[in-house]
Amino acid sequence: MSRDYAGVAVLAPVTVAYERYSDHGAAWFIGRCVAELLSTAGIDKTQLDGLAVSSMTLAPDSAVSLSEHFGMTLRWAEHLPMGGASAVVSMRRAARAIQAGDAEFVACVAGDTQHKGGFRELIENFSRFSAQAVYPYGAAGPNAVFALITRAYMEQYGATREDFGRLCLAQRDNASHNPLALLRKPLTMQDYLDARPVAEPVHLFDCVLPCAGAEGFLVTSVERARFLGLPYAELLAAEERHNAWPDDPVQLRGGWAEFRDDLYAAADLGPADMDFVQTYDDYPVIALQQLEDLGFCAKGEGPELLRTRDLRCAGDLPMNTCGGQLSAGQAGFAGGHLGTVEALRQLTGQVLGRQVPNARVGLASGYGMVNYDRCLCSAAAILGAYDR
Amino acid sequence: MSAASPLELQVCRQCARVQYPVREVCRDCLSGELEWQLVDNSGEVLSWTRLHASLEPMFRERLPWIVVAVQLNAGPVVLAHWAGAEPAIGQAVTVQAIRDPAGRQVLAASPGGSEPGAAAMLFGANA
């Protein structure tokens, strides 16, 4: 089989509106997302023969349990424990299934609920390493881990809190046009700097708001997408890495730096060709590392990029154009699908907020699963509009 | 390594790799023959954070609370509670195992050359 993803169409960006807390289970959000995917594509439930699911609050159930829950018989099922990298990875897996003829329509969905008071148990037992070697050290969840990474990055590359503030302000501006973003109130640099410390140097607006919700999209063949008359994006290139750079004492780069050249070569494009980029923004420092590792600037020049480039929708480097997780909220593992779904919205003209002018090609990256002192999964996809 | 090193970590009998967190097999050679050994407990601060929020009452009543990431000279990176004035990246430290108020054995780091008792008192005399 060829390395490329020729003939594969990715379509039907769907978001199930986020809620701060919900009494529903994860299956409600995933089920409503599947229903919305079907109506968006105009296909019947019996035509959907593939399902890829990512969720952290669905356990002990999985994609398989959901087939019974949703009354579906599947030819192809995948459950991805890759957190914020699951969107790109499920798209890769689904694309191969479509190319091989193992499935005709695959729904790639991530959804999670958020019960009041349910956060502590999720954090305490997120992984074996985390339970034994992270949680006992202050029980601060990912905030502590990413505070350590943030301080090391600031010291190594001279980033300041103002630099991270620029990123957060730009994303809030993007969110102000997105009716589904939980945080839309304009954010000033003074608000950002004056926010209460959570895990220094991480302060309140460096953290995402955990919530309930779902994100999803469909993968099928270009032929079927055309037959249905639906706008779609083509998957031009995609890569994933797990446990890249294991001997780096602190995670100042991700797997993106290892696969970047292959990714761009496969698409025959470079970073300058991207009309937008959707990074995984659980914390500003991680979004910034993606910009560096994916070649939008050299390593360590992220702070300077933030001082000179405009990340807003109308800017010269539109990033996280729906507001990202920092403003839209983090609906569990759906946080990783947010950027991919937004990329599809931009490329197919179905935006919730602002349309990036002439968006024809864009990049969506993912990052997931903090197991000990860093996240292990990195992934990225380059997508192109069908009519580019 | 001092003869009185108070730090035991998992060591591979096959390849002598020191590893942390605890694993079922060696991260280098995948041997299942692992044992606990006293290791060099010196290292340096890779990064640190001052926590102002916690999910556990035990820490909430002690905020703000400092946690450090330490590169041990024995090989692994460990997270540890901090016993000392504000730390600095690159600062030399020693790491020892102590008991926390929940009865867990945890790691505590203190500035290199400080009194061994400093870390033991981290959670208070009644811990």
- Give chain A's domains with CATH numbers: 8-117+213-232 (3.40.47.10), 127-206+236-385 (3.40.47.10)
- The 10s digit of each residue's pLDDT in B26-52 is 999 999 999 999 999 999 999 999 999
Instruction: With beta carbons less than 8 A apart as the criterion, state whether A94 and A105 touch.
Output: no
CB contact A252 to B (< 8 Å):
no
> Would you call A122 an interface residue with chain B, using a CB distance cutoff of 8 Å?
no
Supply the pLDDT for residue A117.
83
The answer, yes or no, to whether residue A1 has pLDDT greater than 70, is no
A30 neighbors A214 (Cβ within 8 angstroms) = yes
A39-53 tens-digit pLDDT: 999 999 999 999 999
Q: Which residues of chain A make contact with B10, given a CB cutoff of 8 A?
A: none
Q: Give which of A137, A155, A252, A376 to mutate to test B binding, by max B Cβ within 10 Å.
A: A137
Question: What pLDDT is recorded for position A123?
Answer: 87
Question: Does residue B68 share a domain with residue B32?
Answer: no
- Per-residue model confidence (pLDDT) at position B118: 78
Across A327-336, average pLDDT = 97
Please tell me whether residues B33 and B49 are part of one structural domain. Answer: no
Whole-model pTM: value is 0.97
B108 and B49, same structural domain? Answer: yes
Number of domains present in the structure of chain B: 2
Looking at every residue in chain A, the average pLDDT score rounds to 97
Q: Which residues contact A359 (CB under 8 A, 6 or more apart)?
A: A275, A276, A346, A347, A385
Model pLDDT, residue B2: 43
In a domain, B64, yes or no: yes
B24 and B48 in a single domain? The answer is: no
Whether A246 has a pLDDT exceeding 90, the answer reads yes
B69 and chain A in contact, CB less than 8 A: yes
Q: What is the overall mean pLDDT for chain B?
A: 92
Q: What is the pLDDT of residue A172?
A: 98
- Its domain, for residue B13, covers 8-38
Q: Do B115 and B72 share a structural domain?
A: yes
CA neighbours closer than 13 Å in the CB half-sphere of residue A125 = 6
B98 in a structural domain: yes
Q: Specify whether B28 is located in the same domain as B81.
A: no
Q: B87 and B115, same structural domain?
A: yes
B30 falls within a domain: yes
CB contact under 8 A, B67 and A140: yes
> B54 contacts in A (CB within 8 Å)?
138-140
Do B64 and B89 lie in one domain? The reply is yes
* A385 Cβ neighbours under 8 A, 6+ residues apart: A231, A233, A234, A347, A348, A359, A360, A361
Q: Is A142 on the interface with B (CB under 8 A)?
A: no
Structure ipTM? 0.95
Residue of A nearest to B61 (CA): A138
B23 located within any domain: yes
- Assess whether B20 and B46 both reside in one domain: no
CA A315 centroid distance within chain: 21
Does residue A277 register a pLDDT over 80? yes
In this complex, do A152 and B71 lie within 8 Å of one another by their Cβ atoms?
no
Q: Do A144 and B21 touch (CB under 8 A)?
A: no
In angstroms, what separates the C-alpha of B60 from chain A's closest C-alpha? 9
Query: What residue of A is the nearest CA neighbor of B52?
Result: A198
pLDDT given at position B125: 60
Residue B3 lies in a domain: no
Say if residue B32 is in the same domain as residue B91. Answer: no
Question: Which of B26, B28, B55, B123 best probes binding to A when mutated, by most A CB atoms within 10 angstroms?
Answer: B55
- Asked if residue B54 belongs to a domain, the reply is yes
Give domain status of residue B126, yes or no.
no
**Which residues lie below 8 Å from residue A143, measured CB to CB, with a gap of 6+?**
A198, A199, A202, A207, B51, B53
- My answer on whether B65 and B26 are in the same domain is no
| Cβ-Cβ contacts under 8 Å, A143 against chain B | 51, 53
Can you tell me the mean pLDDT for A97-108?
Answer: 98
For residues B54 and B113, state if they share a domain: yes
